[in-house]
């Protein structure tokens, strides 16, 4: 895993690095499915993925999923995944979520950085994502990471009929 820090160093006053609060990032596996799915349903209530789809994502060789966990006992407080078929040139952030108590602490940023590392390792040149148009906090995070808005999919998120803002980050040549 990368050791990128969102702001400051872990443990410094004012640091937003979740590792300073005992949260670490690790690769997700099938044993994490129950906790990931519980967060999925809680966070994305009306448009949550099915348990079967989430399981498929976790075992797909072209996907890289990570979880943010607390220690003693280990509890998942966030997760994210990227589809990055080696050699395709493109990667797609499939999903990212954090529990409400972990928000605004840098957890999402660290998860995103891990997913971007995985995309680079798969030799992606571009990373795409869709984000709900009614989620300005997530859009702000993605913009701060260098993503640019490239389009809109009207009514993409159902049953809420919310538009998806399509964003892209060009990472070609960044290794």
CA distance 86 to 156: 27
- The question of whether 142 is a catalytic residue gets the answer yes
pLDDT tens for each residue of 9-53? 333 333 345 554 578 999 999 999 999 999 999 999 888 999 999
Instruction: Provide the percentage of residues in the chain whose pLDDT is more than 90.
Output: 73
- The question of whether 65 is a catalytic residue gets the answer no
pLDDT tens for each residue of 118-163? 999 999 999 999 999 999 999 999 999 999 999 999 999 989 999 9
- Which sequence spans correspond to the domains of the chain? 19-170
Q: Which of 130, 149, 156, 157 is catalytic?
A: 130
| Cα-based distances in Å from 3 to 42, 112, 113, 130, 136 | 29, 13, 9, 26, 27
- 19-170 has which CATH code? 3.40.630.30
Q: Which of 57, 65, 114, 142 is catalytic?
A: 142
pTM of the model: 0.85
């Amino acid at each position: 895993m990368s050791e990128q820090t969102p702001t400051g160093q872990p443990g410094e006053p004012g640091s937003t690095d979740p590792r300073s609060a005992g949260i670490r990032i690790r690769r997700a596996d099938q044993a994490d499915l129950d906790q990931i799915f519980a967060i999925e349903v809680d966070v994305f209530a009306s448009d949550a993925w099915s348990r079967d789809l989430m399981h498929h994502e976790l075992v797909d060789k072209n996907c890289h999923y990570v979880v943010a966990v607390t220690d003693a006992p280990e509890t998942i407080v966030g997760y994210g995944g990227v589809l990055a078929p080696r050699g395709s040139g493109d990667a797609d952030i499939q999903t990212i979520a954090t529990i409400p108590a972990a928000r605004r602490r840098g957890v999402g940023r660290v998860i995103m950085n891990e997913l971007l590392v995985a995309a680079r390792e798969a030799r992606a040149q571009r990373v795409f994502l869709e984000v709900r148009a009614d989620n300005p906090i997530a859009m702000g995070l993605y913009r701060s990471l260098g993503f640019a808005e490239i389009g809109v999919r009207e009514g993409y998120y159902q049953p809420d009929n919310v538009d998806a803002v399509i964003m892209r980050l060009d990472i070609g040549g960044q290794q």
